[in-house]
C-alpha cells in the first residue's frame, strides 16, 4: 500500500505525520546527547574518586605498598579507572555515531521534506490557477450569452416597431449579431479551458501528487529505518565495551583473591623485625639490708659524698627496646639508629645500589677507552684529548664507589654479626629458638668477592687494549637477507671516515653484521643509511 494511491486526498495529514517523524528523530538525538553527558559525568566522577584514593607518593616510598591488601586495593582502583575509561568510550561512540550523524541526517531529511511539499504546493497552486481561469471563462461565456440574448430581443422589438427608423433597426441587428458572435467565442474559450482544466486535474490527482506522496513515503520509511538503527546503536555501544568491562570486573575479582593475610603478616615481620634479643629476667634488688656497713667486695660501697650506692641500679636503668620510650633518633650513614635487622636490610639495599652504579661507571670507562683508541688510530674521527676529562671523571667515580662499597660491606658485616650475636643470646635464654636466618652471615668471602669484582672489572680493559681497531671499510656491503638484531646508541658518534655513519644518542638502529673482534658493528639507520659504528657505543639486542 502506497500513500499516492490510498492517501491521495490527505495532504495535510501527511504533512503533519512527516513533521512528527522528524521531531521524533530530533528528540532521540537530544536524548542520546543528554545520555552521553551523564556517561561523561559518571566517568569523570569515577576518575576523581580513583585519584582521591590512590597513594600520593610513589609505591616504592610507601612501606604499606608491600602488603597484598594495599596492592589489591591499588589494583582495584586501577580497574575502576579503566572502567571509567570504557564509560567515556561509550559516550564518545554515542556522540559520534548517534548525535552527530543523526543530527546531520535530520537536517538532510528536513530539506528533502521541504522540497517535496514545496513541489506539492506548486502543483496545487497551478491547479487552483487553472480552476480560476475556468471560472472566469465560464462567467464570461454566461455574460456574453445574456448580452447576445438581450441584443437579439432589442433588434426584434425595433424591427416590429413602426416608429423605428430603418437605420435604428439595422444598427440593432448588427449589435445582436456582434453579441451573438462574442458569445460563440466565449463558448469556445470556455470549452477549451474546461478541457485543459480536466486534463490538468487528472494529471494532478493521478500522476503528479501520487508521485510526490510516494517520495514522501520513501523519505519517511528511510527516516524510520535510520531511527531504528540509531536505537540499536545504544545497545551496540554498550556491547562493544562489555568484554573490556568484563576484564575490569575480572581484574577486581583477581585483586580480591590476591589478598594474602599470612603473607602480609610475614611482610610486617620483615619490615619491622628489630633483631634485638629478648630482655633477660629482672634481678631482685634487696633494699632491706643496712646501708652503712663498711665497704667490702661483697657489700655495697659508700661513695665519697656519703650517699649510699644502690645495688643493681645500673641494670634497672638499662633500656629494654620493646617497652622503652623512643627518643628522637638522629639518622646516621651506617643506619646504626635502626634496629639490627632493619639496619642489615638497609645496608644491603645501599650496597646493591652502589654495585649497580659501579658497574655502570666501569662500562662507561671501557667505552670511553675504546673510543679513545679509535680516535688515536683514526684522528679524523675525533681528538683523543677531548675524552681525557670524561675518562678522569669516570675513574674518580669508580674509586669513590669502590670505597663506598668497601665501607658498606664492612658495616654490613658488623650488622650481621650483631644480628647473629643477638640471636645467640636469645637462644641461650629461651627454650624455643627463633626462626633460622634467611641467609648465612658473610665472612671472609666478602673480601674475596670484592677482590674478584675488582679483578673482573679490570679484565674488559685489558682485553680492549689488545683488540685491533679497523679504520677503513669497503664502500660496498654484502646485502644480508634481513637484520640480525636491533640496537640503541648509548653515545653520539660522528662518522667522518670512509665506511662509517653518524648516529645520535638514543637513536634506534638495525644490526646488519656483528662485531667480528675489531670493535666495529655494521648497522643500518631507519632512513636507509648503512655503515660501521663502534660496538662500545651500542646497546645491542640480537634476534
pLDDT in tens, 269-293: 888 877 777 777 888 887 876 554 4
Which pLDDT belongs to residue 217? 92
Average pLDDT value for residue range 513-518: 82
Residue 357 has pLDDT above 60, yes or no: yes
In the chain, list all ranges with CATH 2.30.30.40.
485-542
Give the dihedral sign, CA 533/536/539/541: positive
Helices (H), 378-490: 388-429, 445-466
Supply the pTM of this predicted model: 0.53
Residue 214 has pLDDT above 60, yes or no: yes
DSSP state, residue 258: T
Cα 93 from Cα 233, distance rounded (Å): 9
Residue 243 has pLDDT above 90, yes or no: yes
Cα 364 from Cα 320, distance rounded (Å): 50
Q: State the Cα angle at 177 between 175 and 178, rounded to 5°.
A: 65
Which carries the bigger pLDDT value, residue 516 or residue 128? 128
In the chain, list all ranges with CATH 1.10.287.
340-421
Domain 3-258, classified CATH 1.20.1270.60, yes or no: yes
Which carries the bigger pLDDT value, residue 412 or residue 85? 85
| Plot region of 528 (φ>0 → left; ψ -120 to 50 → alpha; else → beta) | left
Residue 57 has pLDDT above 80, yes or no: no
Mean confidence (pLDDT) of the chain: 80
How many other C-beta atoms can be found within 10 angstroms of the C-beta atom of residue 23?
11
Cα 122 from Cα 132, distance rounded (Å): 15
Cα 75 from Cα 259, distance rounded (Å): 11
Cα 284 from Cα 351, distance rounded (Å): 45
Which pLDDT belongs to residue 157? 86
Give the rounded percent of residues in the chain with a pLDDT score beyond 90.
43
DSSP state, residue 522: E
Judged by DSSP in three states, 493 sits in: strand
Cα 516 from Cα 533, distance rounded (Å): 13
Q: How does strand 520-524 pair with strand 508-513?
A: antiparallel
User: Which one of 56-60, 183-187, 286-290, 342-346 scores highest in mean pLDDT?
Assistant: 183-187
Q: Which three cell numbers stand for residue 254?
A: 583477581
Cα 108 from Cα 114, distance rounded (Å): 10
Burial of 211 (0-12, 13-18, 19+ CB in 10 A): middle
Q: How does strand 538-542 pair with strand 520-524?
A: unpaired
Among 84-88, 369-373, 384-388, 476-480, the range scoring the smallest mean pLDDT is 476-480
Residue 99 has pLDDT above 50, yes or no: yes
Cα 402 from Cα 453, distance rounded (Å): 10
Average pLDDT value for residue range 137-157: 90
How many other C-beta atoms can be found within 10 angstroms of the C-beta atom of residue 397?
17
Which pLDDT belongs to residue 425? 54
Which pLDDT belongs to residue 311? 43
pLDDT category of residue 306 using cuts at 50, 70 and 90 = very low
In the chain, list all ranges with CATH 1.20.1270.60.
3-258
User: Who contacts 222 (Cβ-Cβ below 8 Å, separation ≥6)?
Assistant: 109
Please count the residues of the chain. 543
Average pLDDT value for residue range 212-218: 92
CATH of 485-542, one of 3.20.20.140, 1.20.950.20, 1.10.357.140, 2.30.30.40: 2.30.30.40
Among 245-259, 311-325, 426-440, the range scoring the smallest mean pLDDT is 426-440
Cα 518 from Cα 136, distance rounded (Å): 113
Task: Report CA-CA distances (Å) from 176 to 159, 172, 348.
Answer: 12, 6, 138
Which pLDDT belongs to residue 59? 60
Which residue in the block uniquely carries the three cell numbers 562493544? Answer: 240
Cα 516 from Cα 535, distance rounded (Å): 10
User: Who contacts 300 (Cβ-Cβ below 8 Å, separation ≥6)?
Assistant: 289, 291, 293, 308, 309, 310, 311
Residue 427 has pLDDT above 70, yes or no: no
pLDDT category of residue 74 using cuts at 50, 70 and 90 = very high
Burial of 97 (0-12, 13-18, 19+ CB in 10 A): middle
pLDDT category of residue 382 using cuts at 50, 70 and 90 = confident
Which pLDDT belongs to residue 104? 94
Give the rounded percent of residues in the chain with a pLDDT score beyond 70.
80
Cα 280 from Cα 286, distance rounded (Å): 19
At 312, phi and psi to the nearest 5?
A: 75, 10
DSSP state, residue 60: G
Which pLDDT belongs to residue 162? 80
Which pLDDT belongs to residue 446? 39
Which pLDDT belongs to residue 62? 75
Average pLDDT value for residue range 97-104: 92
* CATH annotation of 340-421: 1.10.287
Average pLDDT value for residue range 28-55: 94
Amino acid at each position: 500500500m502506497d500513500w499516492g494511491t490510498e492517501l491521495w486526498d490527505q495532504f495535510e495529514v501527511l504533512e503533519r505525520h512527516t513533521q512528527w517523524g522528524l521531531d521524533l528523530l530530533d528528540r532521540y538525538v537530544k536524548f542520546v546527547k543528554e545520555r552521553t553527558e551523564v556517561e561523561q559525568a559518571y566517568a569523570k566522577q569515577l576518575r576523581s574518586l580513583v585519584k582521591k584514593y590512590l597513594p600520593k607518593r610513589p609505591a616504592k616510598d610507601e612501606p604499606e605498598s608491600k602488603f597484598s591488601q594495599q596492592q589489591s586495593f591499588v589494583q582495584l582502583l586501577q580497574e575502576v579507572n579503566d572502567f571509567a575509561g570504557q564509560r567515556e568510550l561509550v559516550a564518545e561512540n554515542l556522540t559520534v555515531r548517534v548525535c552527530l550523524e543523526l543530527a546531520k541526517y535530520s537536517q538532510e531529511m528536513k530539506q528533502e521534506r521541504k522540497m517535496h511539499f514545496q513541489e506539492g504546493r506548486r502543483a496545487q497552486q497551478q491547479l487552483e490557477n487553472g480552476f480560476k481561469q475556468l471560472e472566469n471563462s465560464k462567467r464570461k461565456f454566461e455574460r456574453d450569452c445574456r448580452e447576445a440574448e438581450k441584443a437579439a430581443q432589442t433588434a426584434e422589438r425595433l424591427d416590429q416597431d413602426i416608429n423605428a427608423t430603418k437605420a435604428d433597426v439595422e444598427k440593432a441587428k448588427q449589435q445582436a449579431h456582434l453579441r451573438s458572435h462574442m458569445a460563440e467565442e466565449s463558448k469556445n474559450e470556455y470549452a477549451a479551458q474546461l478541457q485543459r482544466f480536466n486534463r490538468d486535474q487528472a494529471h494532478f490527482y493521478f500522476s503528479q501528487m501520487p508521485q510526490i506522496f510516494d517520495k514522501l513515503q520513501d523519505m519517511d520509511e528511510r527516516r524510520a529505518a535510520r531511527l531504528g538503527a540509531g536505537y540499536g546503536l545504544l545497545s551496540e555501544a554498550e556491547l562493544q565495551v562489555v568484554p573490556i568491562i568484563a576484564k575490569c570486573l575480572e581484574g577486581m575479582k583477581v585483586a580480591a583473591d590476591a589478598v594474602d593475610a599470612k603473607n602480609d603478616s610475614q611482610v610486617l615481620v620483615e619490615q619491622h623485625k628489630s633483631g634485638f634479643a629478648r630482655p633477660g629476667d629482672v634481678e631482685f634488688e634487696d633494699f632491706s639490708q643496712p646501708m652503712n656497713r663498711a665497704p667490702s667486695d661483697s657489700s655495697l660501697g659508700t661513695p665519697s659524698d656519703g650517699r649510699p650506692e644502690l645495688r643493681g641500679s645500673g641494670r634497672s636503668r638499662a633500656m629494654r627496646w620493646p617497652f622503652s620510650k623512643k627518643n628522637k633518633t638522629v639518622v646516621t650513614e651506617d643506619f646504626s639508629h635502626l634496629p639490627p635487622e632493619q639496619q642489615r636490610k638497609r645496608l644491603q639495599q645501599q650496597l646493591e645500589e652502589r654495585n649497580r652504579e659501579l658497574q655502570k661507571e666501569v662500562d662507561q670507562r671501557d667505552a670511553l677507552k675504546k673510543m679513545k683508541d679509535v680516535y688515536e688510530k683514526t684522528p679524523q674521527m675525533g681528538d683523543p684529548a677531548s675524552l681525557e676529562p670524561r675518562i678522569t671523571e669516570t675513574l674518580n667515580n669508580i674509586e669513590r664507589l669502590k670505597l663506598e662499597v668497601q665501607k658498606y660491606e664492612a658495616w654490613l658485616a658488623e650488622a650481621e654479626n650483631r644480628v647473629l650475636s643477638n640471636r645467640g643470646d636469645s637462644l641461650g635464654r629461651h627454650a624455643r629458638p627463633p626462626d633460622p636466618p634467611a641467609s648465612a652471615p658473610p665472612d671472609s668471602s666478602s673480601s674475596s668477592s670484592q677482590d674478584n669484582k675488582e679483578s673482573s672489572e679490570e679484565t674488559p680493559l685489558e682485553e680492549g687494549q689488545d683488540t685491533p681497531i679497523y679504520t677503513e671499510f669497503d664502500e660496498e656491503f654484502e646485502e644480508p637477507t634481513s637484520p640480525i638484531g636491533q640496537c640503541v646508541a648509548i653515545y653520539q658518534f660522528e662518522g667522518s671516515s670512509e665506511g662509517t655513519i653518524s648516529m645520535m644518542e638514543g637513536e634506534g638502529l638495525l644490526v646488519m653484521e656483528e662485531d667480528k673482534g675489531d670493535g666495529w658493528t655494521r648497522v643500518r639507520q631507519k632512513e636507509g643509511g648503512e655503515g660501521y659504528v663502534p660496538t662500545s657505543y651500542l646497546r645491542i639486542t640480537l634476534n
